[in-house]
Structure 1
Amino acid sequence: MTSAPLWFDFPLAVRKSWISTISRRYSLDEYRAIAEKAEGRSEYRDGEIVPIAERTLKHSRIGRNILTYFSSLLCDTQFEPINSDLRLWIPEYRRGVYPDVMIFDGEPQLNAERLDEVLNPILIVEVLSPSTADYDRQSKFRMYRSIPSFSEYLLVEQDERFVERYSKQAEGWLLSDFSGLEASISLDSVAIALSMAEIYRGIVFE
């Protein structure tokens, strides 16, 4: 299990920008202008700009495995998987975030014709890091649930073979969990099954 990143684990430029967010708030237009020029990515949180910690090799490989598997199975369907380069805008909370993987039913809906912000994923995948796991499970999930199209959520551990799946039901959200390489996750929103062996293909655990 890796430890959460410390303050000095972040590059100096990121730490300086982080300090600046404490003393002032940014308009959405200011954030977008900064994001277009910045070397690293950051979230917009209703006036605050919060740098996103750099990801581990294991995190990136898991995200790649999931996106590759989705792209293969969904290539001849109306569903489109997208990687973490695209920003998701959540209007109700005025948040701009970067999920690890999103799937759209048909053409993604752009936010006011911006080519870098979308509004309507049906499925979201987050690969968990020690520093963001609580945020992904709680605050971010609550914000995601305000998206009308959103109906399925996967939380993927990177330090063990374990996945949590939340699916939207008439009475609320149903949690199922999966462990081991033999399990398969049925995804109602896209009518396919995601193999745990494919998620963790090539991943070595200590």
Structure 2
Amino acid sequence: MAEQQERMSLEQFFEWQQRQERNYELVDGVPVLTVKAMTGASVRHDTVTVNAILALGNRLRGGPCRPRTSDQSVITFRGTRRPDISIECGKPDDRSMATDEPRLIIEILSPSTTRYDRFQKLEEYKLLDAVKVILLVDTEAPRVTVWRRGRDGWGNVEIAGLDQTIDVPEIGCALPLAELFDGLRFAAAPGSNDASISASLIGGA
């Protein structure tokens, strides 16, 4: 029987992570490779990630909030997670490996991570006081599930269509879906005469 792996504290994990070539998450005291670290990201996933960083980064420039990539960890009750994008509105030390106030979390869904991101990681994020909004972004359709913290707890709404915009007053800006999905093509809705639709056409690019 294999020996049980010794569990790490957050401090031990971050010190250990600096010596690794790939990004890990700390889950219940045990370092675990992220799916993206094991398999890489598809072009669709990477396109949406870059689009979101560009769109939000430009709108947030000069303000108190800014985008962070999955190189930055978000600390949860189970350890650490690496969302595709977080919007940091705190003031962490510039050598910190974790966010200070991740007000918005964005997970770009893929076939291999959809179930995990929609359930396990979502519930961990919702327990963080700093997190006010969570976006689960579909890459197979121009669709985003928006989870928002309200007075009575969390609620969600689905926003779909390249002509739609997600208002995020929690960080003082909005995110047009045409920009989020720029450069991707999607299958047309049933009954449409078009074989596919391009986000760049909707966005006027």
Query: Which residue pairs with 2:129 in the alignment?
Result: 148
Q: What TM-score do you get using the length of structure 2 for normalisation?
A: 0.80
Does the CA-based 8 Å contact 1:181-1:197 persist in structure 2? yes
Q: Choose which of 27, 34, 37 in structure 2 pairs with 1:52.
A: 34
Q: Distance in 2 between matches of 1:162 and 1:59?
A: 14
Q: How does 1:1-206 map to 2 (within 5 A)?
A: 23-28=4-9, 29-53=11-35, 54-90=40-76, 93-108=77-92, 115-205=96-186
Instruction: Compare CA radii of gyration and give the structure with the larger one.
Output: 2
1:25-57 per-position Cα deviation (integer Å, ceiling 9, x unaligned): 431355334422222212110122221122212
How far did 1:119 drift?
3.6
How far did 1:205 drift?
3.9
How far did 1:73 drift?
0.6
1:133-162 per-position Cα deviation (integer Å, ceiling 9, x unaligned): 122121111111221111101000112211
Q: Distance in 2 between matches of 1:134 and 1:56?
A: 17
Does the CA-based 8 Å contact 1:44-1:95 persist in structure 2? yes
Q: Distance in 1 between matches of 2:182 and 2:20?
A: 32
Q: 1:85 to 1:177 in 2, by over 3 A?
A: same
Q: Aligned partner of 2:30: which letter?
A: E
SS at match of 2:184: coil
How far did 1:104 drift?
2.3
How far did 1:114 drift?
5.9
Identity %: 26
1:71-112 per-position Cα deviation (integer Å, ceiling 9, x unaligned): 11111222222122111122xx2311111111122424x5xx
Extract unaligned runs of 5+ from structure 2. Answer: 188-205
How far did 1:24 drift?
1.9
SS at match of 2:18: helix
Q: What TM-score do you get using the length of structure 1 for normalisation?
A: 0.79
Aligned length: 181
Question: 146-155 vs 130-139, which deviates more?
Answer: 130-139
Q: Tell me how large the CA RMSD over aligned residues is.
A: 2.1
1:57-78 per-position Cα deviation (integer Å, ceiling 9, x unaligned): 2111101100111111111222
